[in-house]
Structure 1
Amino acid sequence: MNIKHKILASLLITSFSISATASTSTAIDDSNVASLKTEFMQTQKALGFTEKEVQQFLDKANYNQGVIDAMTRPWEAKPWHQYYPIFLTDKRLNAGVAFWKKHEATVKRAAKEFGVDPEIIIAIIGIETFYGGYMGNYPVVDALYTLGFYYPARATFFRKELSNLQTLIEDEKLDINNLKGSYAGAMGFGQFIPSSYRHYSVDFDHDGRRDLLNSPVDAIGSVANYFHQHGWQAGAPVALPLTVTGEFPADVKIWSGEKLNYKISDILSPSVSLAESIDLDISQPALVVNLEQQDKHEYWLGLKNFYVITRYNRSPLYAMAVYQFSQQLKHAHDGH
């Protein structure tokens, strides 16, 4: 793998939020780790694992400082004008169109069965792993073990994922010794963390396994199911550019991860309007995204479908990159 590919591989986006202000890890002493492992042991035994099975599972894991370092340097902290060029490239677009055409029937079936626009499915897999090209080189068990026991900021969350991993390995007959993924324990074409793998993956090629690591067909169906389960509305708008006169109104908060508290009618005003006229139900929920360009701020109105993309990754920059890439894909695919 050349240097460029190594850099791209390090930019894998996981299917959960990595805060742009992620806290750095504070030290956990050995006694605390021992206590957490005892708690983990009891949790796993309650799920039906024996003490020996849990211990053998933990014995496979190793602390990885690189995981901690990566968690404290989130790429979503970059301004938009530095973020989007990482993902919106001609190379990724060409690969996306080729992947779409290769799996045309599967994508069409997934879009119809789950009610998800096909370009969104293709965009997610492209942004996440360059269509399976960069799935991550971290042992998944090491990543989740390290974060679950040595990363206080989100240790509880990652111990739950470590717990899900043990169940997932047993259910799907995965090889723990060769299970690689992102620094946050996400794996496969769509970078599903263990809980998402367990709850949203589907056997879309009907071979008796839900294989997101080797089967692009299962990955396509699983990404579509994930969006379906989170409320995607096929054919509905995702995000619309805004025209702002003067400063953006101080009484409208830029979206930062919270639930949809505004309606479109709360956002539009004499100084904030749609850049292009479109018929909209202004009573529907919405949010405002601020994209930092080099010489200006660019504002967008995010609708329900935009919010659904953020269920895959909480970053508004990620969601906007997925949306804009999906539009490039649709144009290029339909043009062919």
Structure 2
Amino acid sequence: MTLFKRIFAPLALTLLSCSATAAPTASDVEKLKAEFIQTQAEKGFDAKETASFIANAEYNQAVIDAMTKPWEAKPWHQYYPIFLTEKRLEKGLAFWNEHADTIAKASKEFNVDPQIIVAIIGIETYYGGYMGNYPVKDALYTLGFHYPPRATFFRSEFGNLQSLVKEEQLELNSLKGSYAGAMGFGQFIPSSYRHYAVDFDNDGRRDLLNSTTDAIGSVANYFHQHGWQKDQPVTLQLTLNKDLPDTLKIWSGEKLHYKVADILSPDIALAQSMDLDVSQPALVVKLEQVDHDEYWLGLKNFYVITRYNRSPLYAMAVYQFSQELKKAYAAQ
């Protein structure tokens, strides 16, 4: 099943005088740099050190171009065939077999289903086959200082990169990743690397770029820290007798506020009957097929996948790929 490019959800807009779409002026950029130097000083970096860190990064127009063409804009029927392929499934099985002991250990220690760990690494980087060719420092600098819609978030990640390089003794100029500054087998942005990476091979380093063992443990820890519930359902298909009522909204990134009982009704039922705690949090996902729409009930685990990437299409691709992996691995 196939490869996926990470897209981050819109976060706080920059407090520049320019609009959300207009490119910042040279004066705006210089103001942001001065503010950034001050922010980093509060974290223990001296001004010369941070100024040098900024000067080491370059603007990259290709990063802006990639950020403004999100893959999630595609309807589901165009999206999933790109990311769910037989080649990826074969690669996933080979990865699972090769690292079976590590995956089993991570699954047990962090209470996360093994197929989810394997699916994430496969969808993010094709099991390390494509971890990105953008210099991380340039990607985060470009988005943090030259892309107003998400500048505040990416400037923070640029600051986290400065801390990460120092903490993990990484070679800044050799760090390559996605156009959004995500690195390694599991594509962690700097803040996620700092907060969720683990030294799972016990060699004294948290190395998500070269150590598959650390990557496996870190992906499992990420899901654990966000509340994954092992052996629990993720999403269930719904059948509708009529259109979705106006009072029930399709999930678009907000915190869970519906319960299963708010969604199921005589006109909205599970496609396959099963016992389900109707008091648990839930959401509704719509998938656009060629000639009809599918509706799915997303549960807590589905929401947890969206903590990795906010797109419901991404979460559904991860889930469906994980199920294919689970079936194929059990059938060996």
Q: Distance in 2 between matches of 1:12 and 1:253?
A: 27
Q: Distance in 1 between matches of 2:188 and 2:296?
A: 28
Corresponding position of 1:83? 79
TM-score calculated relative to the size of structure 1: 0.94
Alpha-carbon distance, 1:130 to partner: 0.3
Corresponding position of 1:17? 9
- Contact 2:260/2:282 (8 A) holds in 1: yes
- Hey, which bits of structure 1, 4+ residues long, moved more than 6 A? none
Q: Deviations over 1:153-198 (max 9, x none)?
A: 0111011000000000011111111100000000000000000000
Alignment match of 2:168 (pick from 172, 179, 184): 172
For residue 306 of structure 2, give the secondary structure of its aligned residue in structure 1: helix
Corresponding position of 2:180? 184
Q: Distance in 2 between matches of 1:213 and 1:54?
A: 24
Alignment match of 2:320 (pick from 295, 319, 324): 324
Is residue 290 from structure 1 mapped to residue 283 from structure 2 by the alignment? no
Q: Deviations over 1:266-321 (max 9, x none)?
A: 10111110000110010111000000000000000000000000000000000000
State the number of aligned residues. 324
Q: Distance in 2 between matches of 1:18 and 1:71?
A: 11
Corresponding position of 1:69? 65
- Contact 2:37/2:50 (8 A) holds in 1: yes
Alpha-carbon distance, 1:199 to partner: 0.1
Alignment match of 1:252 (pick from 233, 248, 251): 248
- Contact 2:6/2:180 (8 A) holds in 1: no
TM-score calculated relative to the size of structure 2: 0.95
Alpha-carbon distance, 1:81 to partner: 0.4
1:207-222 matched pairs, under 5 angstroms:
207-222=203-218
Q: Distance in 2 between matches of 1:269 and 1:13?
A: 35
Alpha-carbon distance, 1:88 to partner: 0.7
- Contact 1:18/1:74 (8 A) holds in 2: no
Q: Deviations over 1:210-245 (max 9, x none)?
A: 000000100000000000000000000000000111
For residue 312 of structure 1, give the secondary structure of its aligned residue in structure 2: coil
Alpha-carbon distance, 1:26 to partner: 1.5
Q: Distance in 1 between matches of 2:90 and 2:199?
A: 27
- Contact 1:18/1:314 (8 A) holds in 2: no
Alpha-carbon distance, 1:48 to partner: 1.1
Is residue 269 from structure 1 mapped to residue 265 from structure 2 by the alignment? yes
Corresponding position of 1:133? 129
Q: Distance in 2 between matches of 1:202 and 1:12?
A: 23
Corresponding position of 2:200? 204
Corresponding position of 1:113? 109
Q: Deviations over 1:140-164 (max 9, x none)?
A: 0000000000010011101100000
Alpha-carbon distance, 1:18 to partner: 5.7
Alpha-carbon distance, 1:250 to partner: 2.1
Corresponding position of 1:47? 43
Q: Which amino acid aligns with 1:197?
A: Y
Alpha-carbon distance, 1:85 to partner: 0.8
CA-based RMSD? 1.4
Q: Distance in 1 between matches of 2:245 and 2:272?
A: 20
Q: Distance in 2 between matches of 1:239 and 1:46?
A: 43
For residue 289 of structure 1, give the secondary structure of its aligned residue in structure 2: strand
- Contact 2:112/2:228 (8 A) holds in 1: yes
For residue 291 of structure 1, give the secondary structure of its aligned residue in structure 2: strand
Corresponding position of 1:3? none
Q: Distance in 1 between matches of 2:310 and 2:47?
A: 36
- Contact 2:10/2:150 (8 A) holds in 1: no
Q: Deviations over 1:94-147 (max 9, x none)?
A: 000100010000000000000000000000000000000010000000000000
For residue 307 of structure 2, give the secondary structure of its aligned residue in structure 1: helix
Q: Distance in 2 between matches of 1:265 and 1:95?
A: 40
Alpha-carbon distance, 1:24 to partner: 7.1
Q: Distance in 2 between matches of 1:249 and 1:270?
A: 12
Alpha-carbon distance, 1:49 to partner: 1.2
Worse-matched range after superposition: 277-286 or 241-250: 241-250
1:219 to 1:331, Cα distance in 2 relative to 1, 3 A: same
- Contact 1:135/1:187 (8 A) holds in 2: yes
Name stretches of at least 5 consecutive residues in structure 2 with no aligned partner: 12-18
Is residue 195 from structure 1 mapped to residue 188 from structure 2 by the alignment? no
Q: Which amino acid aligns with 2:9?
A: S
